[in-house]
Structure 1
């Protein structure tokens, strides 16, 4: 059966209109040789004879390349050496079990299948260990590729030159496959075709390291379905995934355990065990970045006089100097700079802006305000940064930078002061205005505050309802806390206390008591720096409430007395009413608490503020009930409930129903108490208010116990305990544990709650 070479010789001869004898006479090649070439009997044609034929046939360059490629293919089919080009993998190797399993699975899935070549695109940021992983896996599986392993560093992110031309890589592969230089075609596309021909039926592994983009890789992909290709790149190579069916394998950072293992392997267990706290800090500061850990280990090894604590001190100062080195391969800033260099000016600016954004991550809506570029452009730039492995996008669509990359980004691109400050103001306006609107959804009856309009190009996120508002607060909570700290650092004091105000209801509903205290301590200081007595009174009052929830009664009283004194100086009856209302919740002395509640009610009744009046009515009812004045308590609470219902204040209704349940329980109306508690919990759950739900569950348990409903009491107390634990309310959880224990042992818990 004729091969490609025989077919090519015959076709070119016939095109020239020559018989075998005429071609022999013109070229000087014997007729028997030409006949052997055309019948396929001469499987290893001599290069000199091929060139004589080419000259006699007067071939064009493309035809000459075709003839040489066919001749090389015929010759090398029996003479291809087995290349073993894999370089030694960096040692030691730790972890990466999931990634290795996925590479193994990709290889297994292609076994025996008539499918295209198996390609795995290993992507991750510079220094995260992509080549480390690919080479370790390749050596571990070398015996599965009996026809050889080819390797090339494509230098896609080289510190000392441009990415390698794919034609150079192809030529290198042809050399590795033993092709006689004289048989190699001139045209790059013909060389690539020859390469594909040579490996088409081989079981070979190709490791294409440090690819810049898909275009650099495509001409290096073998034909057939027996080869396996592993490509590493800082870019995601989406074209390779889409156009060639490559399997995407993202490579992230090491776990803390794996990072520990790497340091032990590099430094020895004795040195690591000598300074466990320093090792833990180094692991945390390096954030699982293999190159960073290796650089630290290298410094510790070459400078044995330095303790690991000394190295941690250097790394802790916020710069990357300790991870820098004259050798680019041993310098994290140098490695990252190569990715940064590939960015456009716009991408580099957004990269730097992301580094100054408050919080550990950022969603697209906040990023739009940060950049000021609009939705589609911001999304496109973020996608490019993600493809470059400079940011990661999680399953929820949020973007995050590794801490070390963030440190680098903060200094890698110079931002003009006006650009930096304007971007910060926009993103802080985004968080403040979105949080304010979300809080208005949670409690539309709360006295509003006035915000300045957001800066141009700031786009606060619209939220449709209470569940959406609570979900947004849950997602953005850490960023909102960071936004307040950023506002203080830049002396944006209005933003600082307004963020605390906007977080109030969310913190209350979720039981974030310590965060509530923290934001109001900051808010009081910020308000004190402003010529705004109203802000000062409000922040002191809400600081007092935050203290009392944590049982800090003296601090709460001091803050509330300050708020009351300021409101009296301003002769503001509404602020005085609010101050007395809060003071009622502070005093452990029931009589003093009731006095403040009554004073608050008197002030509100002259202000035409029905919700404030309802709050005070409920407070009077609650503290009267605590003193055993049940008729007075029930009367005030029923009046409060009517006002809340009239003005559709759901949270107020829930609080008052809980108060009525407490009054019923302590006046012996246990079935009415159960009904009121269940109604209160239904409303609290609609409001996603887990803090008050826990308290009402606790009180409901006492009523069930009083009715002899042991199983129901156990059930609701377990629910209450679980909520208390989630909220960090340890004392309340322990008290419920005691109640559960007493009831489980057949006792009768105190029903006074």
Structure 2
């Protein structure tokens, strides 16, 4: 097979035809790209038919792969997904994808990721327009749901959080368990996180497509997919995608009448708003989730929600209510063998007491750290060290804070936890600035901004720019400082970081 469309023919067609705007029907777009004896659709059909009639297995696999891609229609594709769609192994699927690249029907956009040109995508949809298209799409959704459970088991440590998430909800399709057994586990958490990042755009596309699906079984698979993948996205700090997926999860759960899935979606939306700095909205979702978990009798989930409510109430300055929620959380300890939950509650109590007695707060954080070390939970230990650093900042002892922030970051390693990492990095920047270590501080601040921008995390970026502006002002660069503060104010406006917002306005007015 030669390339599907020689450059001279493309130029002649484009010279005579104006491409329609996005959203024009497939038939219309390909129909318009015809002139005299030239036809894009005909050129594509010749390339496809030559592959399909070839005596080489890889060519026939490539033709079938193009039809399968048209049925599922996602932004990009990898060999494991295509292998499932073809019913073969990854090596054979990769050969088929490489063959499609050879004949210019696909482009390798990144290592191991493939995407068709828009017009090829339209043609592939036409090829898949009849026959088994619906079955192929369902196969793809079920594969994503199965792999999502493998991601969960690799990125969430064993305990109530993992066990509860994996427990089937009333509408989880019974065949899901067999599908999970059919996909291999990841080699480690880093590989699982990498998969979630590579496939996130596709997961969002599937969720949006099936949010209103009339096929309830497929809707139930998507609901299961979102429940299983959400903890990984939260750990990765993918706030914008979390917002879209959380809303779809809530809509699907309510449409399916699945109260367990609904409670998870409410909790997940609360987590998304917390990461975005919208503590009031987060608390409203968390209170709804708590009430639903209580009615469902899920004590482990009630306890998680009470701990999170304590964190949110402390962030909102509602300290008496915070203490009440956290003490209720600890009162549930005898009913559960959950040292992780105890450690988190002690950490939140430390955050509360930091406002009145930072040294007492440090003792609570050390209790949390001891539990984290005892149970081997890196995230708990990392958070405790970070919190101790902030307590030392509250004591105006930045020199004591720095090693705790540095240790918290070094122990995190490959364990992705963007909220904890960003808090440690922000605390380290503050401490270094107070110590006058300006060069290192600027470098750390630039790294924090780079990582926040990579996640489109404007909230963390705003907090970092606030600190960067203070550093620039100290360096005698007031105009640059004011620009950083203006950007920070725009990013944080509407969040519940009221003290920072007030300081930014004062800095800009001075």
| TM-score band, normalised by shorter chain | 0.7 to 0.9
Aligned to 2:387: 659
1:715 to 425, 440, 443: 443
Alpha carbons of 1:561 and 1:694: their partners in 2 closer, same or farther (altered >3 Å)?
Answer: closer
Q: Which residue of 2 aligns with 1:339?
A: 47
Question: Cα distance, 1:457 vs. partner?
Answer: 11
CA distance in 1, matches of 2:268, 2:100: 42
1:680 aligns with 2:408: yes
CA shift at 1:454, angstroms? 5.7
Does residue 450 (structure 1) correspond to residue 176 (structure 2)? The answer is: no
Q: 2:203 aligns with which of 480, 488, 501?
A: 480
Q: Which runs of 5+ in 2 are unaligned?
A: 54-59, 169-174, 479-484, 486-498, 504-510
Matches within 5 A, 1:269-348: 290=11, 293-297=14-18, 312=20, 316-324=23-31, 329-344=37-52, 347=61, 348=63
**Cα RMSD after superposing both structures:** 3.2
TM superposition shift of 1:414: 4.9
SS of alignment partner, residue 242 of structure 2:
helix
Deviation at 1:369, TM superposition (A): 0.8
1:511 to 237, 253, 263: 237
Moved more, 382-391 or 615-624: 382-391
- Structure 1 residues 594 and 290: alpha-carbon distance in aligned structure 2, compared to 1, 3 A threshold: farther
SS at match of 1:399: strand
| Alpha-carbon shift at residue 581 of structure 1 (Å) | 1.9
**Aligned-partner Cα distance in 2 for 1:661–1:415:** 61
Q: Is 1:421 equivalent to 2:152 in the alignment? A: no
Deviations 1:499-535 (A, max 9, x none): 3334334433433211112111111111112343222
1:551–1:376 CA distance, 2 compared to 1 (3 A): closer
Report the counterpart of residue 49 of structure 1 in structure 2. none
The aligned counterpart of 1:469 is 192
Rounded Cα–Cα distance in structure 2 between residues aligned with 1:565 and 1:460: 36
Aligned residues of 2:68 and 2:86 also touching (Cα < 8 A):
yes
Deviation for aligned residue 1:394: 4.9
Deviation at 1:425, TM superposition (A): 2.8
Please name the residue that 1:351 is paired with: 66
Confirm whether residue 648 of structure 1 aligns to residue 376 of structure 2. Answer: yes
Normalising by structure 2, we get a TM-score of 0.79
- Matched residue, 2:4: 125
Alignment check: 8 A CA contact 2:77 2:115 kept: yes
Once the 2 structures are TM-superposed, how far is the Cα of residue 367 of structure 1 from its aligned partner?
A: 0.6
The structure-2 alpha-carbon separation of the partners of 1:615 and 1:746, relative to structure 1 and needing over 3 Å to count, comes to same
- Counterpart CA distance in 2 for 1:498 and 1:701 is 40
In structure 2, the CA distance between the partners of 1:377 and 1:432, relative to structure 1 (3 Å rule), is same
How far the C-alpha of 1:578 sits from its partner, in A, is: 1.8
Indicate conservation of the 8 Å contact 1:528/1:536, yes or no: yes
Q: Distance in 2 between matches of 1:395 and 1:629?
A: 52
Give the distance between the partners of 1:533 and 1:408, measured in 2 at CA.
41
Render the CA deviation track for 1:251-297: whole Å, top value 9, x for unaligned. xxxxxxxxxxxxxxxxxxxxxxxxxxxxxxxxxxxxxx646633424
Q: Counterpart in 2 of 1:257?
A: none
**Aligned match of 1:601:** 330
Give aligned pairs, total: 455
Gaps of 5+ in 1: 1-120, 133-288, 298-310
Aligned pair partner of 1:369 in 78, 84, 90: 84
Q: What secondary structure sits across from 2:337 in the alignment?
A: coil
1:412–1:645 distance in 2 versus 1, CA, 3 Å? same
Deviation of 1:708 after TM superposition, in Å, equals 4.0
1:136-172 Cα deviation digits (max 9, x unpaired):
xxxxxxxxxxxxxxxxxxxxxxxxxxxxxxxxxxxxx
Query: Hey, what does 1:738 align to over in structure 2?
Result: 469
Change (3 A) 1:715 1:470: same
The reply on whether 1:460 has 2:186 as its aligned counterpart is no
Q: State the match for 1:574 in structure 2.
A: 300
Q: Which of 426, 431, 435 matches 1:698?
A: 426
1 CA distance for matches of 2:16 and 2:182? 42
Contact 2:3 2:47 in 1 (8 A): no
In the TM superposition, what is the alpha-carbon distance from 1:719 to its structure 2 partner? Answer: 2.7
CA drift at 1:546: 0.8
Match of 2:267 in 1: 541
Q: Is the 8 A contact 1:614 1:639 kept in 2?
A: yes
Asked whether the equivalents of residues 204 and 244 of structure 2 are also in contact (C-alpha less than 8 Å), the reply is no
Aligned equivalents of 2:244, 2:285: Cα separation in 1: 14
SS of 1:447 mapped into structure 2: helix
For 1:363-399, what per-residue CA distance to the aligned partner results, in whole angstroms no more than 9, with x for missing partners? 1111111221334543454444344432234561333
Query: Shift of residue 605 of structure 1?
Result: 4.6
Distance 1:323 1:358 in 2: 17
**Closer/same/farther in 2, CA of residues 726 and 399 from structure 1, 3 Å limit:** closer
Counterpart position of 1:88:
none
Corresponding residue SS for 2:176: coil
Residues 543-593 of structure 1 deviation map (CA, whole Å, 9 limit, x = unaligned): 111122223344323322221221222233222212222223333124133
Q: Given that residues 714 and 740 in structure 1 are in contact (C-alpha distance below 8 angstroms), is that contact kept between their aligned partners in structure 2?
A: yes
Distance 1:434 1:457, change over 3 A: closer
- Which is bigger in relative contact order (C-alpha 8 A, separation at least 6)? 2
Alignment of 1:73-112 (within 5 A): none
| Cα gap change, 1:460 to 1:524, in 2 (>3 Å) | same
3-state secondary structure, aligned to 2:471: helix
d(CA) in 2 for partners of 1:456, 1:708: 56
Deviation at 1:689, TM superposition (A): 3.7
